[in-house]
Amino acid sequence: MSLLYGIDLDGVCFDFLHAFSKWLEDKTGIEMPQDEEITSYYWHETVEGLEEDTFWREFHKFGQAGGYKYLELLPDAKEGLEAIKRAGHRIIYITNRPDYALCDTQLALQYHLFPFSDNLIFANGSKSPIIKMHRVDVFIDDSPSTIEEISMQTSARIYCKDYPFNRKLKPGRFTRVHSWEEFLAHEQITTRV
């Protein structure tokens, strides 16, 4: 049976964390902590000296300067996406990136030859209506608020890509995974050709 996989981009496929950390250090001079110390999805809540307005101003400057176009892939992301396609399933990318990042995001998906790269939706906040409308069977994300929302509002099988900032999530209707390999193992999809 062919399933529709909903895939978040930042934190699942692309390494936004390290790219934006470097940007913040370069632009603000604020020393960014180690990954394990970023325990809130909104970094200004845990990074000493980083004010909320500075966080959001630099977040938008990063995106408007083409930051989304040049993000590194996370380990095994491309191979994982290809394995999903080889197994006979479909993919839809659902992101909460700002609207101005649409062209850069499309270019990045095409540059990295992501399967189903035309299946891209900018959610602008709530992903649940999109998941329901498209009848997404399986969804993976890293945002704690998104995981909570889709757990309550959809029937999709949900995976949470593990990060320190989402570890406060109470166990619920999702499976926590630490890697693409672990995610695919839960889905019984092999990466071998």
**Count of beta carbons in the 10 Å neighbourhood of residue 175:** 15
Q: What is the pLDDT of residue 193?
A: 59
Tokens read off for 151: 């757990």
Phi and psi at residue 157, to the nearest 5°: -75, 130
pLDDT (0 to 100) of residue 190 = 84
Would you write out the chain's pLDDT as a tens digit for each of its 193 residues?
A: 899 999 999 999 999 999 999 999 999 999 999 888 889 988 889 899 999 999 999 999 999 999 999 999 999 999 999 999 999 999 999 999 999 999 999 999 999 999 999 999 999 889 999 999 999 999 999 999 999 999 999 999 999 999 999 999 998 899 999 999 999 999 999 876 5
Q: Which CATH superfamily is domain 4-15+73-186 in?
A: HAD superfamily/HAD-like (3.40.50.1000)
Please provide the DSSP assignment of the chain as one string: ---EEEE-SBTTTB-HHHHHHHHHHHHH-PPPPPGGG--SSSGGGTSTT--HHHHHHHHHHHHHTTGGGGPPBPTTHHHHHHHHHHTT-EEEEEE---GGGHHHHHHHHHHTT-TTTT-EEE-SS--HHHHHHTT-SEEEE--HHHHHHHHHH---EEEEE--GGGTTSPS-SSEEESSHHHHHHHTT-----
Q: Check residue 35 and give its pLDDT.
A: 87
Task: Please state the domain extents for the chain.
Answer: 4-15+73-186, 16-70
User: 0.85 exceeded by the pTM?
Assistant: yes
